[in-house]
Amino acid sequence: MKLSYNKIVYHILLISMGFGQYSSPHRFSLKSASDGEISFFLDGFNSNVVAEIKLMSDSLTWFGTGRGLSMHDGQSSYTYQSTNDSIVDVFSNPSSITNVLPAGGVSAIATANDTLLVAFAGDDNDTPIGLGLAFTPKAKDWYETEPSERMSFTFSWDSSGSDISNGVYFGFESGYQPGSGYSGSFLVISPLNELDKISIKDSVQTNTIIKVTNSDLSKVLSFTVQSVSDFSAGQIQLLITSGSITYSNISDIGFLDNESVKLSITKATKAVQWKYLPQPVDNELDIEVPFGEGYFWQLPVTVPQANVTYDASISGKYLYVASWAGGLRRYDLSINLRKPQNVPMPMDWQSQLSTCQDSAYIDTVSKITGESIPVLKDYYLNPRDPGDGGNHNHKAFSVLAYDDRIWVGTANGINKGRIVEEITQISENEFEILSCIEWDHYKYPTNGISGNFVVALGKQDWNGQTTIWAATVGTGEAGEMQGLSYSRDDGVSWKTALIGERVYNIESKDSLVFVSTSSGLWKSLDGENWAKLDPAIEQSMLNQRQILTNVVYAAKIDDRDSIPKLWIGTPDGVGLAQDTQGNNWQIYQSNHYPNEVYAYPNPFSPMTHNMLNNDGYVRFHIGNIYNKEVKIDIFNFAMEKVHSKNYNLNSYYGALKWDGRDMLGNHVANGVYFIRINYASSSNQSPGDNWTKLIVVK
C-alpha cells in the first residue's frame, strides 16, 4: 500500500538533498592508494549541498550532503564511498558488515560518543523514498579496519639466511628471541622466478603490510614496509618500518628452518565497518503492536515510499528515528540490532496520551490470536491524511531525546514524551519490565506555536534553564506563520521569534543560539534580539572561495579548541569560521576538475542558481593561478561583448562570478555565451586567454 504524502515534504527533501546537485561537475576518483592503502574515503566533498553537521571525538566532523556522507578529520575533507548495489542488511544476516554505504542523499545523522547513525534517501518517480540506515558503534576507528589481502605466495623459511631458492628470511639480526620474538630490520625474499619477483615488487609499496603464517596459522608474523628494493641477483629486500613487527605463537617458538610459510601482501584499509539497516517498514500483519502496558492497533506502513528518515536521536540505550509516514520508531541498542519498535503518539485531536496507565487500555479480543489483550482505548496509529482517516501527528519529521525526555515534531505540532523505564519484581524469580511513554501534545493555535509543521528541534541549557527550540512552518491553516517557536518551561507555554523566516535548524551553546534559515544565519544571546551574519567569504590569497547563497541549512558550534569555531552547511558548500562571530572563514566545496577552466552551474539561470542578496550567479573555475590580476570578458553568440570585469586579487576576495547581467545592468537573453578568462596558470607562464562556454536559461 502506497501512502500519500504532503507536497511540502517533497519540497523540503528536494531543498535539503537535491537542490544544486549538479551545480558543479560530478566526476571524482577514489582516494589515492599509491601509498599501500585501500581507502573507502574519497578526497573532498562530492556535493555542495550540506544539511547535517555532527561533531565526534577530538577532531572528526561528519556532514550529511546531497550525495552521501562526508567527513573532515581536522586536516582534510573526504566523502565516503557509496554503491548502487544492494547491501546485505543485519535482519537478513545479523553478522553482516559492509564497508560501503548506499548511494543517495543523507537525510539524517545522529551521534553519541563513537556511535554514528546515517539515514539515506532518494526519490521514486518524484516520491521521496527511504534508502535505509547505516549504523556503527566505532565511527572514529575508520583508520583501524583489518588489512585486506591482495595476493600471497608460498615460500620456505630460511632461518640461516643461506639464500635458498624460494626462501625468505630476516636480514642480519634475524634470530628469533624467546619472549620477545623477531626484531629484524629487513626481510629478504628469493622468488622462484622473475614473474613472481615482478609481481611482488609491483604490489609492495610504502605502508604495505606483510603477513607471514605457517600452515596451521599457529605462527603469525606481520610488519609494515618502509621501502622495497633489489637485494642481490633475483632477490628482493623489504625494509621494515621501525617498531612495526608483531609475532604471535602460543609455544613461543619461531619459524623452523625450511618450514613452509605463506607470505601475504596486504594493504591497510581506511574504512568504517557499518551495519546496514533496511528502511523501517511493517509487515501486512503488523496491525497489533505491543507497547507500554498493552497493545495498540495501527495501519501497517509496508513500503519505503513517503517513508524517509528525516531525523534521528540517540539517548541511553535507544535510537529514535522520525520517518514521516513511517512515524516514530526506536531501536534498542543494548541488544543485537533488530526490527525497531513502533512508538504510538497522540492522535490529532488528543492533547495527551498515556501508554503507562492501566486505565488507558481496555481488554479486547486480539485480531491476531483471538485471545483477550489490553489495547489502547479509542486509538489507531494511521499516518494517512485526516481526510483519509489518518493523523498528521503520526507523520514524524524531527526528534530530540535526552535523559527521560523525548520531543517529536510532526505535521500536527510538538509532542513531549516522558519516558518511563521500570523493573518490578512480581515473584521470587519473576520480573516485569515496563517501558512506556506519557505524551503531551502542543499545536497551533491552542498552545502558541507559530505553525504545526515542525521540521527541526533543538535544546539549550543555560543558567539552570532548559529551552526547547522548534522550527515551525505553516501547514495551510489560517493564521499559521513560519518562524521559530520556543518554550522555557518544559512545554507549559510557548513563544515565537523570527516570524516570517523559513527555519531549517537550531544550534546552541550556553547563552548563544544560532538559527539556520533561508535568508541566512541568525545569532542571539537572549532569544529575543537577533543579528544576521554576513555570507561567508574566504579571505586568503588566490583561492576564489565564497558561499554564493544566503541560505544556511545547518550550523554547529565547535568548542573542541580553546576558542570555539563555527561550522555552517549551505547549498553551496561548508564554511568554518575561526570564531563564533563569523570571522576568518575557511570554505570547503566540491572541486572535481581542479586544473580545468569551466563555468558552473551550466546551464545557468540568474533567477534561481546561487541566489545571493536577490541575484543569481554563475561561478568560473580556473584551477591554479599565479598572477594577481584576472580579466573576464563575456560574449554573446554574435561575439558581441556583453560583460567585462578585471579582478585585482590583491584586494578582491571571493568567487570569480557573473550575475547574468550586461554592462547596462540588464539580464542577458537566453542563449550561448563565450567566456574569455585571462590569467597565468603557472609560475613560468605569462597571462594568457582561456575560453569556455556557458548556456544561459532564465
Q: How far apart are CA 236 and CA 231, in angstroms?
A: 5
Residue 616 CA to residue 697 CA, distance in Å, equals 12
The pLDDT value recorded for residue 145 is 64
Helix, strand or coil for residue 550? Answer: coil
Rounded to an integer, what distance in angstroms lies between the CA atom of residue 644 and that of residue 240? 59
What secondary structure letter does DSSP report for 16?
I
Strands 101-102 and 82-83, by their bridges, are parallel
Three cell numbers, residue 370: 483471538
pTM: 0.84
Q: Pairing relation of β-strands 41-43 and 465-473?
A: unpaired
| C-alpha to C-alpha distance for 373 and 367, rounded to whole angstroms | 10
> And the C-alpha cell for 261?
610459510
Alpha helices in 570-693, H assignment, sequence order: none
User: Which residues, in sequence order, are CB contacts of 543 under 8 Å at separation 6+?
Assistant: none
- Give the CATH number of domain 145-270; options: 3.30.460, 2.40.30, 1.10.3660, 3.40.50: 2.40.30
Residue 557 near residue 566, CB atoms below 8 Å: yes
Q: How distant, in Å, are the alpha carbons of 82, 396, 414 from that of 501?
A: 35, 22, 19
**Where are the domains positioned within the chain?**
7-142+274-442, 145-270, 530-588, 598-696
261/153 Cα distance (integer angstroms): 8
Distance CA 195, CA 355 (A): 72
pLDDT of residue 161: 81
Contacts 24+ apart (CB under 8 A), 285-288: 285/368, 286/342, 287/367, 287/368, 288/366, 288/367, 288/368, 288/373, 288/375
Residue 203 DSSP code? H
Residue range 394-440, pLDDT digits in tens: 999 999 999 999 999 999 999 999 999 887 776 777 776 789 999 99
Angstrom CA distances, 48 to 4, 72, 453, stand at: 30, 14, 27
| CB 249, CB 178: distance < 8 Å | no
Residue ranges in the chain modelled with pLDDT below 70: 1-37, 143-146, 172-174, 426, 432
Tell me yes or no: is domain 598-696 CATH 2.60.40.4070: yes
Cα of 595 vs its chain's centroid, Å: 28
The predicted pLDDT at position 428 comes to 73
253 vs 167, 179, 180, 219, CA distance in Å?
19, 9, 10, 8
